[in-house]
Amino acid sequence: PSWQDKNLFSTQNKAPSRDIKNYMHSCVLFLPLQDAVCTLNTLQTNACALEQVRRERGHPQLQLQAMRGFLERAGLVVEELDHLNIIHVTGTKGKGSTCAFTEQILRSYGFRTGFYSSPHLVQVRERIRINGKPIGKELFTKYFWQVYGRLYETKVDTHGGSMPAYFRFLTILAFHIFLQEKVDLAVIEVGIGGAYDCTNIIRRPWVCGIASLGIDHTSILGDTIEKIAWQKGGIFKPGVPAFTVKQPDSPMMVLKERAKEIGCPLWVCPELEEYPADSGPLRLGLAGHHQRSNASLALQLSHSWLQRRCLPGRWDTSLSSWAVGLEDTEWPGRTQTLKHGPVTYFLDGAHTTRSMLACVSWFSEVASQHERTTGGPVVRVLLFNATGERDSAAMLKLLVHCVTFLPPPNTFPLSSDQQNFNVSVENMLTRCLDNQRSWRLLNGQEEKPGDQLLISRDVLPLVAAECCSKTLVFPCILSALQWLSQGRDSVLAHPDKRVIPVKPSVTAKAAPLRDATGIHVLVAGSLHLVGGVLKHLDPSFAS
């Protein structure tokens, strides 16, 4: 059965019949995960939702009131969220890594943890984690239909047929799951901004955190870092301690003013080097110097939560007791290295200029370390794509030392979890060609007449197109990965991973890759791209 069964759901704006209600409640017993994901994707109207956010920027309570309404229709009330002992974290760069560090530290104490984050890399279940693991398929399916059924059966008469948009629904689902699974605490990552974000329905978090601020989502949050800081400070709550990493003077002033206005005590985290090193320097499970400020914020959040939530003196809160948690933290797709024989992949979802600077610093250091032990020539390749309103040219300018291949991330066979209905294939292709032209200009190459015609819509799935000797646009991620690995990655050589061969002229350009002792591939520009790559490289994401 399908939720899209027209006969079953042809209620013509009438209240659902008893048969329909019984069907909804029984769905959890036999509808598979794939049906749940496909139904979830029908709520993927984020482009419209974001436009609504823009219209309501001056009236944030309208959005929070709508969220409360959806929450109540799902069978929850805001007061119940107080029982989740929430740690609420926002920021432009590093908020996900901060949450991952925090969750791992507190889990190492034996607490049962919930962790809600976005976006997912491969499977939507990654957004909702119990004890560090994505919620299982059976539990996700069970809880999905419980929440969806309650929302669906209450929408017809009293709510104008509305269902919550994709992110709102997942936020409600996460709260429901964490309550049902009786977690000891929930680490909640803000989606966009803070003040207007649907996670900000939380009334009483135990502690709040703000990671590094920068320019992103300007059409929603504002076009200056001061406006963005104001939005981020919207998660502050009266009397609830908050911590921030060191920020530039201007946004820091805004955060302090917001904290004073709301009545929230605000502290600035020390540098990681300032912590006492009785047991030697702290080792982090996430690579890159920029992760050190995220780790410091996580230490402060964890310490504050333990001190406020638990009896003083009950837990060992010495730095040495947290070292294991910091070192054991994993957060796929962020400064991650995967070595597959002679091909080494360096993956980072950096998608702003500032985060790309940190990515370049990390990649330059770690790739050089690998190259010193390779024992022969190494070819560096950049696999790049950017989505939305991101400034691709500015990011590419930081990456001109790499050879680049630019695949549109969504023009390949997708699992339902990875589908994005808010961006057309034509839009993605246009972005790829724009990136290609930017790369040519950055390398001092003139644009040739007709370059924009090298990929036509009707042949998009069939061929790779070339614009210059160092730039290629591929029709899909898998074809790009197989071309750049040249059969030297056994994972990509599996019979199940087959695509239509590229043109002979493109194959001929791979000679340097075949002759090199090692191939180093930097994947950056988009978490969607990183997720698409991990889907092919890491078998654990396929389970």
- The H or E element containing residue 178 is helix 166-180
Q: Is 224 exposed, middle or buried (0-12, 13-18, 19+ CB in 10 A)?
A: middle
- Residues whose CB is less than 8 angstroms from the CB of residue 324 and which lie 6 or more positions away in sequence, other chains included: 108
- Residue 194 structure tokens: 């803070």
Q: Distance between CA 129 and CA 137 in Å, rounded?
A: 12
Closest CA to 442 of 384, 380, 392: 392
User: Is residue 189 annotated as involved in ligand binding?
Assistant: yes
- DSSP bridge partners of 405: 383, 472
User: Is residue 334 annotated as involved in ligand binding?
Assistant: yes
Q: Is 367 exposed, middle or buried (0-12, 13-18, 19+ CB in 10 A)?
A: buried
Q: Is the dihedral of CA 29, 31, 32, 36 positive or negative?
A: negative
- The H or E element containing residue 472 is strand 471-473
Closest CA to 428 of 449, 406, 448, 404: 406
The answer to whether 209 and 98 are in contact (CB under 8 A) is: yes
Ranges assigned E (strand) in 385-450: 403-405
Ranges assigned E (strand) in 11-131: 86-90, 113-116, 128-130
Query: Which amino acid type is present at position 268?
Result: V
User: Is residue 257 annotated as involved in ligand binding?
Assistant: no
Known binding positions: 118, 189, 217, 334, 348
Known binding positions for ATP: 334, 348
Known binding positions for Mg(2+): 118, 189, 217
